[in-house]
Structure 1
Amino acid sequence: MKHLLISLSALLLFTACSSKKYYEPEDVSSNIELNKESMSSSIKSMNKIGATLEDNRIITKNGISEFELPEGFDFINLTDDGKIIATNYIDKLLIGNQEKKVKDVVVAATIKNGKLAVVYSNNTIELIDMNNDKTLFKEYLPISLANDTRIANPYFMGNLILFPTLNGKVIIVSALNNESVKNIAVDPDNEFNNIISLNVIESSQTLIVATPNKIVSISPKEVLSKEYDLRDIIVNKENVYIATIDGQLIKLTANLEEVAKKKYKYAKIHALAFTDSLYAVESQGFLINVSSDFKQDAVYDFSFDNEERMIAIGNRIYYNSKYITLP
């Protein structure tokens, strides 16, 4: 009887494993040159725009830094003049070479025109005058217990400051009178609903906001939204590109109209990047490249450990302790 139970258990386990479906492209091309280079160490932490390595160097749009952050600090943003903003996730914020004491754990921060906009881990938002350390605006929001690690930073847009919260909202504050002027509920109902991406399409003055479950387009004319189970999202010029959990790559306009899409059966996309075309990293060791008009695509071999952290910035994809530069 004991042997029978063991055999049945082994059979069930084998059946469960064999029922898993994986992306298997019909044709894999080798017609691509990927310049693979090594980093000094692997990725320790990251958000949408940058990462911190185990040796405390950082990755940003400027590449890999020569300098190291102080021990215990992680990158969260850059200032307009290139200073690093980092947090120790306890009681300090690093701005360039200066440490600033804070009242709680900072998870997102942006500085512009002498004003510091921060989001704390307890979902409180605050606007601080850097000249005299005076609080200009502060609001306590409901605590969010479950968050996607890709926490978006506040955004200064003309005379407005946009605070992406951890509970699926964007609080808009006037920089003229330091008062809240609008509260946009992007995705208040889902469990994982912090804002993971916040971008502005300048040509149409359209704000594109995303949570893991929804995209919202906010323009001077209207507010539009669409539900997607997102793996990643990037904005390039006038278009929005997304990867979904069910293996779709979709091109959207600023008002969220679907221009084109392709589905890759059982594909699990880790990251998106855009040069003059769209690149998607797939978990089974493939790099999918789709032309900007979505009329052509190609799949290339791209070996990596899908358990390790990965981030795409500009034309580079950083993973493990290596990175590639896309053509």
Structure 2
Amino acid sequence: MKYLLISLSAIFLFTACSGKKYFEPEDVSSNIELNKESMSSSITSMNKIGATLENKEIITNTGISSFKLPENFDFLNVSADGKIIATNYIDKILIGNEEKAVKDVVVAASLKDNKLALVYSNNTIELIDINTNKTLFKEYLPVSIANDTRITNPYFMGNLILFPTLNGKVVIVSATTNESVRNISVDPDSQFNNIISLNVIESSQTLIVASPNKVVSISPKEILSKNYEVRDIIVNKDDIYLATIDGQIIKLTPSLVEVAKKKFKYAKIHALAYSNSLYAVESQGYLINLNQDFSDYKIYDFSFDNKERMIAIGDKVYYDSKYITLP
């Protein structure tokens, strides 16, 4: 009987494993020139706009910085005047070379002029005058127990400060009066609903906000939303590019109209990146390159360990202790 149970267990495990589906493209090329470089150490933490390396150097939109964070600090953001903002996830944040004590765990932060916008792990948001250390605005929002790790930072847009919360809202605060002027519910009902991406399309003054389950377009004329299971989302000029959990890559207008779409069966997209065209990194070791209207695409071999951390910024993809520049 014992041997029968073992045999049945083995069959069950084999059946479960054999039932997994993987992206297996038929036409794969190695004919792509990737400028591959080594980094001084591996990625230990990251968010949408940057990362921290094991040796405490950081990655930002300008590349790998020689600036080193103190021990136990991780990168969050870069201020409007170029200062690095980091957190120790306990009781301090770093602004440039100065450590500042805080009363709770900071998970997102932005700084412009003398105004520091913070999001805490308990979903409290706060605006502080760093010259006087005075709280200019503070709001206690419902605690969010389950969060997607892709937490995005507050955003300064003209005279407004946009606070992306951990419970699926964007709180808009006036930088002139330091008062809340509007709350926008992006995804209030899902279990994982913190804001994972916040971008502004300057030409139309349109705010593009995403949670793990929804994309919202907020313009002076209207608020539009669509449901997607978001793997990654990037904005390039007037175009929005979205990868979904079920292997779709979609191109949207600022009004969330789908102008191009391509589904790659069983594909698991790690990251989207844009050089002269759109690229998608797929977990089984492929690099998908699509043309402008998605009418043509090429798939290239791209070997990497999909268990390692990966971040795409602009035309660069950083992974483990290496990075590539896309052609």
Task: Report the TM-score when normalising by structure 1.
Answer: 0.99
State the match for 2:36 in structure 1. 36
How do 1:198-237 and structure 2 match up within 5 A? 198-237=198-237
Q: Deviations over 1:271-290 (max 9, x none)?
A: 00011111000010000000
Pairwise CA distance, 1:36: 1.5
Gaps of 5+ in 1: none
Shift of 1:128: 0.7
How many residues align structurally? Answer: 327
**Aligned residues of 1:209 and 1:215 also touching (Cα < 8 A):** yes
Q: Match of 2:125, SS?
A: strand
Query: Structure 1: how far apart are the matches of 2:255 and 2:276?
Result: 22
Q: Give how far 1:84 is off.
A: 0.2
Which digits, 9 at most, give the CA deviation of each residue in 1:7-32, with x for residues without a partner?
12111111111111000001001221
Deviation at 1:119, TM superposition (A): 0.4
Alignment of 1:138-153 (within 5 A): 138-153=138-153
User: Aligned partners of 1:20, 1:52: CA distance in 2, in Å?
Assistant: 33
1:198–1:209 Cα contact (<8 Å) kept: yes
- Give deviations 1:88-141, integer Å, cap 9, x for gaps: 111111000111111111111111121011001110000111121111100000
CA distance in 2, matches of 1:289, 1:185: 34
Query: Could you tell me which amino acid in structure 2 is paired with residue 259 of structure 1?
Result: V
What pairs up with 1:63-82 in 2 under 5 angstroms? 63-82=63-82
Matched, 1:292 2:292: yes
Q: Aligned partner of 1:244: which letter?
A: T
Separation in structure 2 between the aligned mates of residue 65 and residue 239 of structure 1, nearest angstrom? 29
> Residue 251 of structure 1 corresponds to which residue in structure 2?
251
- In 2, the alpha carbon distance for the partners of 1:136 and 1:84 equals 22
Q: Secondary structure at the match of 1:203?
A: helix
Per the alignment, residue 106 of structure 2 pairs with 106
Q: Contact conserved, 1:276 with 1:292, CA < 8 A, in 2?
A: no
C-alpha distance in 2, partners of 1:59/1:235? Answer: 19
In structure 2, give the amino acid aligned to 1:7: S
1:280-319 superposed matches below 5 A: 280-319=280-319
Distance 2:9 2:30 in 1: 42
* Aligned twin of 1:19: 19
Deviations 1:202-235 (A, max 9, x none): 0000000000000000000000000000100000
What amino acid maps onto 1:256 in structure 2? L
Does residue 123 in structure 1 map to residue 123 in structure 2? yes
What is the CA deviation profile of residues 146-178 of structure 1, one whole-angstrom value per residue up to 9, with x for unaligned ones? 111111100111111100000000000111111
Query: Contact 1:128/1:135 (CA < 8 Å) preserved in 2?
Result: yes
The aligned residue for residue 168 of structure 1 is 168
CA distance in 2, matches of 1:5, 1:105: 49
Structure 1 residue 57 corresponds to structure 2 residue 63: no
Identity %: 78
| CA–CA distance in structure 1, aligned partners of residues 37 and 112 of structure 2 | 35
- Residue 65 of structure 1 aligns to a residue whose secondary structure is strand
Shift of 1:260: 0.5
CA contact (8 A) 2:80 2:113 kept: no
Output the CA distance in 1 between the equivalents of 2:100 and 2:292.
44
Match for 2:295: what amino acid? K
Distance 1:67 1:239 in 2: 33
Corresponding residue for 2:181?
181
Alignment partner, residue 240 of structure 2: 240
Distance 1:250 1:269 in 2: 12
CA contact (8 A) 2:289 2:299 kept: yes
Instruction: Give the superposition deviation at 1:67.
Output: 2.6
RMSD: 0.8
Question: Runs in 1 of length 4+ with deviation above 3 angstroms?
Answer: none
**Structure 2 regions of 5+ residues with no counterpart?**
none
Q: TM-score, normalised by structure 2?
A: 0.99
Structure-1 separation of matches of 2:219 and 2:99: 37
